[in-house]
Structure 1
Amino acid sequence: MASQTFIISSSITFVQEPPPVLFEELAVVPKNYQHILALSFAVKEINEDPQILPNHTLGFHIYDSYFNAKRTFHATIQLMSTVKKFAPNYICNIQNKLMAVVGGLDPLTSLHVATMAPKETLQYAGILSLLLHFGWIWIVILTSNDEYGERFVQTVFPVFSRNGICIAFIERSSKFTTITDSHERLEKGSQIHEKVSNSKANVVVAYGESYLIVFLRWFSYLSKHITNKQKGKVWIVTAQMELTSMVYHWETDIIHGVLSFTIHSNDLPGFKSFVKSRNPSNTKGDGFIRDFWQQAFGCVFPDPALDKMDGDVCSGKEKLENLPGTCFEMSLTGHSYSIYNAVYAMAYALHSMCSSRFIHKLLVDKRELNFQDKHAWQLHHFLKGIHFNNSAGDKISFDHNGELVAGFDIINWIISPNQTFHRVKVGKIDPKGPPEQAFSISEDVITWHKWFNQVQPLSLCTEHCNPGSRKKMKEGEPFCCYDCIPCPEGKISEQRDQNDCDKCSDKDYPNNNQDACIPKAITFLSFEEPWGISLSCLASALSLITIMVLGMFVRHHNTPIIKANNRDLTYTLLISLLLCFLCALLFIGQPGKVTCLFRQTAFGIIFSVAVSCVLAKTITVILAFMATKPGSRMRKWVGKRLTNSIMLSCFLTQNGICIVWLVTFPPFPDTNIHSFAEEIVLECNEGSVTMFYCVLGYLGFLATVSFAVAFFARKLPDSFNEAKFITFSMLVFCSVWLSFIPSYLSSKGKYMVAVEIFSILASGAGLLGCIFAPKCYIILLRPELNNKEQLIRRKS
């Protein structure tokens, strides 16, 4: 098989002559020379590998786009024309077949003729992930002033907004096209630089062609209001942009700490040796190296036509590895790595095409195999199915849309004081991994701009609203600009920058800073707390006194003073008062089902017995006095039958009310979560409030009747007349329970229970003291008055 040559044309931006600008000291440093070397290195390896394209030679042409779409179109038509004449689609006397074109750096000059391109949506997602990771929500966007810059804005703006990122403003930078507009462009660039520098946004996302970096470095140099200490920014640049130098006097401080998205690259075995071997004196066929050498090292090669030469003479022994990174890098950049892989992809596609069934059929038919009869578009089918591992060990493949399946590296640009340029890989975007692991960043490795003093920068329109406050939007401004106001009472915000404050659950309450919920303390009137101890001691003391009085009365049960006042009623009253004091203890302690069920009903029934005893005593006194009158018919009513009837009827009425209460809607244990902000009160829910007040109302009715009857009989002429003492006791009793109602209703939680206990003890103590204290006084201290003569004596 005859040896044939495939031609790969590469459109690479390599400015051999400087475009017209305003500075005499301007010099073009063609850093993109590395792209040429990557292309040449790939072709060299392929031609030396007998396994890829045996008996075929791969060649290439290089066309300079000069950042200009017009020149790109011109070069494209030239590729399809004869060598000597500009006649599209007319090719003759040419033995080498053009099969593919590798595009340049910039979308404007490469996408016009591209049929396959890297996936940009992954890069957009990476920028968003980077912004969200560091909390940069107030940013500036700087783009090229073309359709691709506009497409970038239209794509990312809604996505950024949905994720809480605001754009302070968008600036579009145009490149130089003619000498006449250079002043205007530079003036515009200066204004952009000053606007960005004065902005509160500390993060600038730059999207555009590679030349944009050059203008970024010119902007600060040309700014009219430049200061010695420029405010630093975090620049995030996209993969299309490369660090390029075009002048000697340019600003490097602005690019220190840049975070750059670059196409994933790796070190290629033998590439550095290949680069080091390049020398103007022994490199044939390289039409770029002499210009590159002169511009990179600032020297000139001798020209026999000139008598005198300006500047240093190039010796050819200069070392590429000694050049600063801003001029030339020995390590492969992402763009050069992509060119290398693109050439290999073409070669493997040609290899697949050579091995196809179509070629096999030609050989079977003994037809001559001539690749000049093949069309370039037939290569697309094989290119889409290509997948291989390059010499660096990376897998190269395309998806079903013809897009390169490759991730991005996040590179930190570092400029040392001696102008040495370093690239440090600080993160990556891996499309092959799980979505939650596609983005990764090592923030501790990042070197920030010196303005930030190596503290992670913030980029906010408004400082964060701390926990305990919420955001209040400012009318007419973006949603990232807001005021911070404290949360209202009873609400919290646990995180920064919350739009609204949240209520705690019913079992929690806000802390003082209103940034967390604290579990409410569970409380009830216990025997251990001061109120519980005081009331239980008081109840115990009154119970003990009642027992002592009862014992005294039992001991002196045959004395006239005890006999005269219905001994059985006295004992019943004392026992009921004792039970009243003891039932107060049911209200202390953690409420349970049994205690809640019986404490109010027990209190109501026992107190009704006590008050009915007082009522019976009073009625007995009145009837006894009336029965002493001659011919009175009241004698038949005096006796135990009447008192028992009174007591029984009063008891049964109250008992009936309590039974209805327990059957219909009984009390039950409950938790009160609303009375106190910091406490959950365990209490007894009375069930039917109506029935509760019916019990109290009935007691009030009995007390009122007793008071009225006692008041009527208070002046009866009897030395042992209890009516005046009962009157006073009922006055105390009624006063206590009348004051109980407002006190009870105005109290909350366990203090309501304490009020009721105190009312029970106070009213019981009033009955005990007012009725029995005079009798105890006579029994203990004036026994001479405890005789029959005193019983029958009348007032004078």
Structure 2
Amino acid sequence: MSWFLWLLTPWSSLTTQLGLGAAGLGVVQASLCFSWGALSDKSLFQDGDVILGGLFPIHYAESRERHNFTAKPLHKPCTGFDVQGLKYMYAMAFALEEINRDSTLLPGVKLGYHVFDSCSRYPWALGHALTLVAGDTNSCNLTAPHESAGDKPVPLVIGGAASSTGILLSSMLMPFSVPIISFMASCPCLSDRRKFSNFFRTIPSDVYQARAMARLAMRFHWNWIGAVAVNTDYGRLAIQAFQKEIRGRGVCLEYIEMFSRETIAIDAKRAALTIESSTASVILIFSWYTDVKTIILELARRNVTGKQFLASESWSTSEHLLQDPAISEVLAGVLGVAIQSSPIPGFENYLRSLHPVSRPFDRFLAELWQREFKCNADSAFSGAERLLQTASLPPCTGAESLKEVQHPFTDTSQLRAEHNVYLAVYAAAHGLHSLLSCPRRGSDPGKNHTCFPPKHIHSKELLQHMSKVNVTTALGDAFYFEGADIKAKYDLVNWQRSPEGTLRLVLVGRVDGFDLHLNESAVQWSTGSSQVPKSVCSESCPPGTRKANRVGAPPCCFDCVLCAEGEISNDTDSLHCNPCPPEFWPNVEQTTCVPRQLDFLSFSETLGITLTTVAVSGATVTAAVFVVFLHHRHTPIVRANNSELSFLLLVSLKLCFLCSLVFIGQPSVWSCRFQQVAFGISFVLCVSCLLIKTIVVLAVFHSARPGAGSMMKWFGPELQRGSVGFFTTIQVIISTIWLSLSPPVPKLDLGFQGSKVTVKCSMTSVVGFSLVLGYIGLLACTCLLLAFFARKLPDNFNEAKLITFSMLIFCAVWVAFVPAYVSSPGKYVVAVEIFAILASSYGLLLCIFAPKCFIILLRPEKNTKKHLMSK
């Protein structure tokens, strides 16, 4: 189309600059006749005070050829007959007759029409448009169907069934300010008033159609779609509008197949091969039904079924496709956007009453009669005016009638483009009403009067009044132009299989502006079921995963990646995973954050049970030793080792074993405070007893030396008890100050990200805890040092040796405790401290009391003073 417009632009500029008017139009028309040959002479004329022009695609070329621009273009004759285009023409005629009968809209003015067959070709449409505007029917050797047709230029043209045709007509007639009202040109580009100021239309812009289709794709989660479009302004700009609507909304086009009508046979094979090999199951097609049929027939030949087609308004209601059984398997389930259907009261009776006898100059009706009734109705014409080769056809009897015939021509159940033509005629009539009517001075202000004769109407004046048109239809709907456009209203239709196996058109929804209303339960899909078909490049990523785009692939093609540890996604097709708050952790599916499970050393788990058993066993053994010692308290081995301190040591060891139980279980404020105090005081009491016992051993042996007899008076029982109490009191004071100033408190230790959070006693004051441990360590080291010095003192049973071994174990355990305590994670910190308590307690118990119990219970003969005193 663009090259053709470029070719004609100089003529348009010439007529504008020279101000040639009708003469200039004649120059352009003559040029067209010279370049393209004689135009089609098929036309219909009805005289009137004001003549409206009409261009309708009543015929079409059944085959086309691509022009190579090296020779004069050769166009094959238009032999295809389109009943739909004929119905458009009669919709215009019916509307004009209805307006002429109306005494209020254009009183005293009779409207006529001059209609040409555009043959669905640009030069034909343009040449006829120039003929209409110039009022000269003989420029290309046309024969006027009526003697008065040649001297009546039209002020307005209704037509331009294709967007490219509408662009051409508007561009060529704009210098002459001739209004164009199209009923099918839906290209968004025609909304530009700077380029197409004389253009109006009664069909919505494709922007609304594209948006409706994009919303259908998003509604049914079709993110992988194929697109096929005719390589004209209609197809290209419709695809562009669709791409604009889906941009950034998760919908992608797998391919865009463009085809030309001149090479439709070759292009249809290429498009069918692409559709067959593609992974997209939803196919969007913007084209005229004749081209769609060629592609679908190729798909049927390849046995390609199960594809879900989205149809544009140009073919979504085509009876030619619906009634063709050869392609019914391929097109079952089509979901399309259609021009809104509206009734035209009386139109069906008008169509059925048409007859060549009453319309002797109507060549189009005669051709319909010949095709449908197989008889020669061309008796009104002669010679070169014959429409068809009818020599073999019998003459019509006159009894043929459309009144009882079921035919697409008389079917008015769904008037779509016909209603647009009907609206266009009424819009023109209201524009004329606004132009021809003005209040006359001194007259009734409620009445309108003609200001000047209607035969002197100029198209420029009419163009100024067209933008003021405001029509209320017979159904009560308001109709007005917003620039070139009207309010968008569509029907949503579905091609469903009937019980007889044929396809039928079912209304399943509507589009009102940008609002889409669809009854999903009423839709029958290409699969033959109510299950919505899938058309995706990649399956949706479920919650718990995120989308990861593939390198070099469209955004609709992606991989699903599990969220990282500690992250969730709770939406389908999530682009990112979100981290959980510190106190929360993802569930197993990683779809939501749940409170992290509290983790602590409990009595019910294996480690807790083991440590509890060991602790209770130690306390039990200590109690048993206490009983043994108490029972044999008068024996030499018990009395020789300071029985009072031994009993006190056993009590402190039992407390050490039992204090470890305080560390098990969920920490609380009081348990955190008590466990460290109990631990510190119990071990100080234990180590103090050992220290005093060691000092007593040293004092006893040193008192045997000459001059050292007075040493033992300083280490009597009272002083021993007092010393133990003194050392223990220091620990009590340290613990009291620590608990008063900064006591341990329960704290959630988030630690490393994990599903559990450790509850532990936090040492808010490291100094306090260090002083408690340090004081125990000081006493233990002092005891170890003194016991080491006393290990070789003469006696058969020297307790200093046992204390040395026990303190070595004690110190080794607690030295190893420090790095283990610092490096242990979570609840194992508590387990390490309990282990240290139990290990050191068992070390003291076994090293000190096991040998004594062995002698008491198993070697009673050695439990004598003589044996103990022997060297």
By how many angstroms is 1:766 displaced?
Answer: 3.5
By how many angstroms is 1:411 displaced?
Answer: 1.8
Aligned length in residues:
765
Q: Find the counterpart in structure 2 of residue 234 from structure 1.
A: 308
Q: Deviations over 1:456-480 (max 9, x none)?
A: 3322334445555554444333333
What letter matches 1:301 in structure 2?
N
Q: Find the counterpart in structure 2 of residue 8 from structure 1.
A: 52
1:122 aligns with 2:196: no
Looking at structure 1, the residues matched to 802 and 567 of structure 2 have their Cα atoms a distance apart, in angstroms, of 57
Q: 1:335 aligns with which of 417, 438, 442?
A: 417
Looking at structure 2, the residues matched to 768 and 795 of structure 1 have their Cα atoms a distance apart, in angstroms, of 26
Looking at structure 1, the residues matched to 536 and 662 of structure 2 have their Cα atoms a distance apart, in angstroms, of 62
What letter matches 1:629 in structure 2?
R
1:652 aligns with 2:736: no
By how many angstroms is 1:107 displaced?
Answer: 0.8
- Contact 2:333 / 2:496 at 8 angstroms: preserved in 1? yes
Give the direction of change, closer, same or farther, for the CA distance of 1:635–1:31 in structure 2 (3 Å limit).
same
Give the direction of change, closer, same or farther, for the CA distance of 1:532–1:721 in structure 2 (3 Å limit).
same
Q: 1:108 aligns with which of 164, 173, 186?
A: 164
Give the direction of change, closer, same or farther, for the CA distance of 1:453–1:749 in structure 2 (3 Å limit).
same
Q: Deviations over 1:618-673 (max 9, x none)?
A: 22222222122222274465345477457635763685488468746x53322234
Looking at structure 2, the residues matched to 260 and 203 of structure 1 have their Cα atoms a distance apart, in angstroms, of 12
Q: 1:754 aligns with which of 831, 838, 846?
A: 831
1:596 aligns with 2:678: no
Deviates more, 1:702-711 or 1:549-558: 549-558
Looking at structure 1, the residues matched to 727 and 427 of structure 2 have their Cα atoms a distance apart, in angstroms, of 110
Structure 2 matches for 1:422-441, cutoff 5 A?
Answer: 422-431=504-513, 438-441=515-518
- Match of 1:343, SS? helix
Give the direction of change, closer, same or farther, for the CA distance of 1:44–1:557 in structure 2 (3 Å limit).
farther
Q: 2:273 aligns with which of 184, 188, 194?
A: 194
Q: Find the counterpart in structure 2 of residue 524 from structure 1.
A: 600
Q: Find the counterpart in structure 1 of residue 42 from structure 2.
A: none
Looking at structure 1, the residues matched to 259 and 495 of structure 2 have their Cα atoms a distance apart, in angstroms, of 22
- Match of 2:748, SS? strand
Structure 2 matches for 1:379-394, cutoff 5 A?
Answer: 379=462, 383-394=466-477
By how many angstroms is 1:269 displaced?
Answer: 4.2
By how many angstroms is 1:199 displaced?
Answer: 1.9
Q: 1:169 aligns with which of 255, 260, 271?
A: 255
Deviates more, 1:72-81 or 1:359-368: 359-368
- Match of 2:118, SS? coil
- Contact 2:49 / 2:455 at 8 angstroms: preserved in 1? no
What letter matches 1:140 in structure 2?
G
Give the direction of change, closer, same or farther, for the CA distance of 1:285–1:552 in structure 2 (3 Å limit).
farther
- Contact 2:695 / 2:786 at 8 angstroms: preserved in 1? yes
What letter matches 1:207 in structure 2?
F
- Match of 1:204, SS? strand
- Contact 1:27 / 1:248 at 8 angstroms: preserved in 2? no
By how many angstroms is 1:752 displaced?
Answer: 3.3
Give the direction of change, closer, same or farther, for the CA distance of 1:100–1:646 in structure 2 (3 Å limit).
same
Q: Find the counterpart in structure 2 of residue 767 from structure 1.
A: 844
Structure 2 matches for 1:497-508, cutoff 5 A?
Answer: 497-508=573-584
Deviates more, 1:501-510 or 1:123-132: 501-510
Give the direction of change, closer, same or farther, for the CA distance of 1:275–1:592 in structure 2 (3 Å limit).
farther
- Match of 2:285, SS? strand
Structure 1 alignment gaps of length 5 or more = 177-183
Looking at structure 1, the residues matched to 450 and 541 of structure 2 have their Cα atoms a distance apart, in angstroms, of 79
- Contact 2:61 / 2:119 at 8 angstroms: preserved in 1? no
Q: Find the counterpart in structure 1 of residue 122 from structure 2.
A: 69
Deviates more, 1:257-266 or 1:152-161: 152-161
Structure 2 matches for 1:316-465, cutoff 5 A?
Answer: 316-317=400-401, 322-323=406-407, 329-353=411-435, 369-379=452-462, 383-399=466-482, 401-414=483-496, 420-431=502-513, 438-450=515-527, 455-465=531-541
Q: Deviations over 1:728-757 (max 9, x none)?
A: 433443454455456555654334323433
Q: Find the counterpart in structure 2 of residue 215 from structure 1.
A: 291
By how many angstroms is 1:489 displaced?
Answer: 5.3
By how many angstroms is 1:218 displaced?
Answer: 1.5
Looking at structure 2, the residues matched to 18 and 683 of structure 1 have their Cα atoms a distance apart, in angstroms, of 88
What letter matches 2:57 in structure 1?
T
What letter matches 1:134 in structure 2?
F
- Match of 2:509, SS? strand
1:260 aligns with 2:360: no
What letter matches 1:652 in structure 2?
I
Give the direction of change, closer, same or farther, for the CA distance of 1:420–1:367 in structure 2 (3 Å limit).
closer
Q: Deviations over 1:115-137 (max 9, x none)?
A: 23433322222222122222222
- Match of 1:201, SS? coil
Give the direction of change, closer, same or farther, for the CA distance of 1:460–1:319 in structure 2 (3 Å limit).
farther
Deviates more, 1:111-120 or 1:380-389: 380-389
1:477 aligns with 2:553: yes
By how many angstroms is 1:187 displaced?
Answer: 1.9
1:82 aligns with 2:135: yes
1:630 aligns with 2:706: yes
What letter matches 2:453 in structure 1?
N
- Contact 1:262 / 1:409 at 8 angstroms: preserved in 2? yes
By how many angstroms is 1:405 displaced?
Answer: 1.3
**Percent same amino acid at aligned positions?**
32
Q: Deviations over 1:674-710 (max 9, x none)?
A: 4573323322233456765664455445434433433
1:795 aligns with 2:870: yes
Give the direction of change, closer, same or farther, for the CA distance of 1:649–1:368 in structure 2 (3 Å limit).
closer
Q: 2:786 aligns with which of 706, 709, 717?
A: 709
Deviates more, 1:242-251 or 1:135-144: 242-251
Looking at structure 1, the residues matched to 265 and 474 of structure 2 have their Cα atoms a distance apart, in angstroms, of 44
By how many angstroms is 1:591 displaced?
Answer: 1.9
What letter matches 1:794 in structure 2?
M
Looking at structure 1, the residues matched to 272 and 868 of structure 2 have their Cα atoms a distance apart, in angstroms, of 118
Give the direction of change, closer, same or farther, for the CA distance of 1:366–1:170 in structure 2 (3 Å limit).
closer
Structure 2 alignment gaps of length 5 or more = 1-46, 66-74, 141-147, 171-179, 181-198, 383-388
Q: Find the counterpart in structure 1 of residue 39 from structure 2.
A: none
Give the direction of change, closer, same or farther, for the CA distance of 1:714–1:334 in structure 2 (3 Å limit).
farther
Q: Deviations over 1:352-397 (max 9, x none)?
A: 5566558988999999543445544445565445445423343333
Give the direction of change, closer, same or farther, for the CA distance of 1:286–1:692 in structure 2 (3 Å limit).
farther
- Contact 2:734 / 2:772 at 8 angstroms: preserved in 1? no
- Contact 1:591 / 1:684 at 8 angstroms: preserved in 2? yes
Give the direction of change, closer, same or farther, for the CA distance of 1:642–1:20 in structure 2 (3 Å limit).
closer
By how many angstroms is 1:46 displaced?
Answer: 3.4
- Contact 2:61 / 2:79 at 8 angstroms: preserved in 1? no
Looking at structure 1, the residues matched to 577 and 151 of structure 2 have their Cα atoms a distance apart, in angstroms, of 77
- Match of 2:200, SS? coil
By how many angstroms is 1:276 displaced?
Answer: 4.3
Looking at structure 2, the residues matched to 688 and 520 of structure 1 have their Cα atoms a distance apart, in angstroms, of 27
Looking at structure 1, the residues matched to 130 and 464 of structure 2 have their Cα atoms a distance apart, in angstroms, of 23
- Contact 2:228 / 2:284 at 8 angstroms: preserved in 1? yes
By how many angstroms is 1:404 displaced?
Answer: 0.6
By how many angstroms is 1:68 displaced?
Answer: 2.3
- Match of 1:330, SS? coil
- Match of 1:116, SS? strand
Q: Deviations over 1:92-123 (max 9, x none)?
A: 99998845433343111124424234333222
- Contact 2:744 / 2:761 at 8 angstroms: preserved in 1? yes
Q: Find the counterpart in structure 2 of residue 179 from structure 1.
A: none
Looking at structure 2, the residues matched to 203 and 398 of structure 1 have their Cα atoms a distance apart, in angstroms, of 35
**Aligned-residue CA RMSD (Å):** 4.5
Looking at structure 2, the residues matched to 24 and 403 of structure 1 have their Cα atoms a distance apart, in angstroms, of 34
Q: Deviations over 1:15-53 (max 9, x none)?
A: 178566899998534223332343334334434444434
- Contact 2:225 / 2:253 at 8 angstroms: preserved in 1? yes
Looking at structure 2, the residues matched to 280 and 673 of structure 1 have their Cα atoms a distance apart, in angstroms, of 94
